[in-house]
Amino acid sequence: MTRALFALKLGLFRNGPHNERVFCLVTGLILAALVISGASLTAHGVIHEDWIAVALTVWGGMWLFGPLAQPRHDPSVISREWLRGCPLRSWRLARALSWTELLAIGPLITLACLSSLVVLAAPGGTTAVAAAMAAVAAQLYLLVWAGKTVAALVAWLLQTRAGMTLAAVQTAIMLALSFAGWVPVAAWLLPRPGEGDIALVTPTAGRLPEPMTDVLAASPTGWGYGAALAARDGAGAGPVLLPLAALLTLGALLQLCWIALTVRALRRPPRRASSRRPAVPGRGLSLPFTTPQVAAVVSRELVTWLRDPARGVELRSAWLTPLLMALIIASTDWSWALPLAGPAAAVFGAMIAINTYALDGTALWQLLTTPGAIKADVRGRMVAWALMFGLPSIALAAVLWAATGSPLGGAAVGGAITAAAAGCAGAPLLALVMPAVGTDARDRIHPGQQAGDPTGGQMTIFPVALLAAILPGVIGGPWWGSVLFAVLLAAVVLGVIPALTVRLLQQRGTGLLEAMATRDTAFLHASARTKSSLNRPSDTLCHSRSGATP
């Protein structure tokens, strides 16, 4: 059984997409090479070996907190959904499946990183190198199963009612640390740039404080490090064997936990989507300067962002992330940078809204078969985004400017305006150009369910929105010039891009519908080449509608 599952996983790796896998492999090996180089430099006294313990602890933390950054319902390559009907005992299947989890990019690059322990132990001779190799294997075993168990626990929690909030909070924490975690270090090196003082504090990379070193060595991520140093220094069998035994024991327990969670997933019958709230007519939303059709789309979008599990996670994480970034900045002396949280909120809002058409799924047939609805739909999505992200991000920048008196306040407000315009107009456009088709909206029942991978669209709109946020501060000059330039640029963007979005939706709407009905984007590419999707025979549209629900 294990051999068959290994063959299946190798086939998936060989025939599946390679871009992300190759990128992760190259990046991981580069980082591992830096750790190995640091270990070799310790022999010459360039850096102290305590910093290798720091690097290994950070690497181990990536295994523990990595699954929290991108929570998924089924984080494994071989989906549990494929194996539910397999006529084998669940425990036997889960045990066989567990060993295939070792076949991945993560264990490979972690093995390369942990080989730094062999470099550290090399001065101790052959026996020390052999002990270090055993420590590498035991440490790898623990880290892999710690990460896999955390991912399985997150997948289970995502199927609960609190899963949406949990996924949003953990994603926001990871993003905030990724984008603003460098601020405390920068504030230590440059304590007073807001006052015009750019004097740099020269850091020293000496030995870490002894209590910190003891904590790193006592944590599970440092047990292999401690065993390798003990073998090098000839401390005896006890200091070497005890950490190795602890690594193997804890790793085995975590593997059993993963097997138990997998057995639970295999025994659970598939769930069907059901509406928790009855559809009852409500009062229409009244908005100034909009038609009733646009107001209806705005009302639908606001309700969908709150109810759909896939959108709900993104909505919460997009707003929690800039607020957590502001808290990190506020804990330092860089209070002058707080207004920049406003443009950051607009940028994150743009990134999470670039896949709305694919998230709506086959319900798109209603839009395509309703005369005159396309223009109102595009405008309504833009207005809804502006209400949720655009106007609040501008208000956040203005409030923080008033509270801090930052010299960057005008540039921050102008950047929030232009970033909001870029997100407001660009998100619906990218939703048509780069749709990430996943589970249809009528079948999504919990936040962790795969609803498409919009990474490509997010990486496309991120530099665009970021550039739009930077331009007012670079070109505008004084604060009033930044705001004026931002308003003019926003007017141009909001006047040109929506017309292009409407035209593309008219041309590619049917191809997008077929792509979502079949979950095959080839239909969308074919529609883009012909540019005459709406002129196709009506039976094709009816065939696409046959499997869709409102």
Phi, then psi, of 196 in degrees rounded to 5:
85, 5
Contact 110, 143 (CB under 8 A): yes
Band (324; pLDDT cuts 50, 70, 90): very high
Q: What is the pLDDT of residue 496?
A: 92
Distances (CA, A) of 227 to 107, 135, 247, 405: 20, 7, 11, 53
pLDDT, tens digit, 9 for 90 and up, residues 267-303: 766 555 454 555 545 555 667 777 888 888 898 889 8
pLDDT, tens digit, 9 for 90 and up, residues 488-528: 999 999 999 999 998 988 888 788 888 777 766 655 555 55
Mean pLDDT of 162-190: 79
pLDDT, tens digit, 9 for 90 and up, residues 292-301: 888 888 988 8
Q: What is the pLDDT of residue 535?
A: 45
Tell me the one-letter amino acid at 86.
C
| pLDDT beyond 60 at 248 | yes
Contact 502, 374 (CB under 8 A): yes
Question: In sequence order, what DSSP letters do the residues of 303-339 get, joined into one string?
Answer: HHHHH-HHHHHHHHHHHHHHHHHHHHHHTSS-GGGGG
Q: What is the pLDDT of residue 517?
A: 78
| pLDDT beyond 70 at 202 | no
Question: In sequence order, what DSSP letters do the residues of 440-462 get, joined into one string?
Answer: -GGG--STTS----THHHHHHHH
Query: How many other C-beta atoms lie within 10 A of the C-beta of residue 344?
Result: 27
Band (389; pLDDT cuts 50, 70, 90): very high
Contact 425, 497 (CB under 8 A): yes
Higher pLDDT, 309 or 132: 132
pLDDT, tens digit, 9 for 90 and up, residues 1-37: 667 766 766 766 666 655 566 777 888 889 889 989 8
Burial pattern 304-320, b for ≥16 Cβ within 10 A else e, equals: bbeebbbbbbbbbbbbb
pLDDT, tens digit, 9 for 90 and up, residues 62-109: 888 777 655 555 556 666 666 666 766 777 777 877 877 777 788 889
Q: What is the pLDDT of residue 194?
A: 62
Question: In sequence order, what DSSP letters do the residues of 159-207 get, joined into one string?
Answer: TSTTHHHHHHHHHHHHHHHHHHTTHHHHHHHSS-GGGT--PPPPP---P
Phi, then psi, of 28 in degrees rounded to 5:
-65, -40
SS3 280: coil
pLDDT, tens digit, 9 for 90 and up, residues 412-436: 999 999 999 999 999 999 888 888 7
Of the spans 57-71, 305-319, 327-341, 432-446, which averages the highest pLDDT?
327-341
Nearest to 550 by CA among 305, 365, 301, 375: 365
SS3 200: coil
Query: How many other C-beta atoms lie within 10 A of the C-beta of residue 137?
Result: 16
Please, which residues have CB within 8 angstroms of residue 512's CB and are 6 or more apart in sequence? 357, 364, 432, 435, 505, 523, 524, 527
Tell me the one-letter amino acid at 352.
I
Q: How far apart are CA 175 and CA 485, in angstroms?
A: 30
Q: How far apart are CA 319 and CA 400, in angstroms?
A: 16
Q: How far apart are CA 56 and CA 71, in angstroms?
A: 23
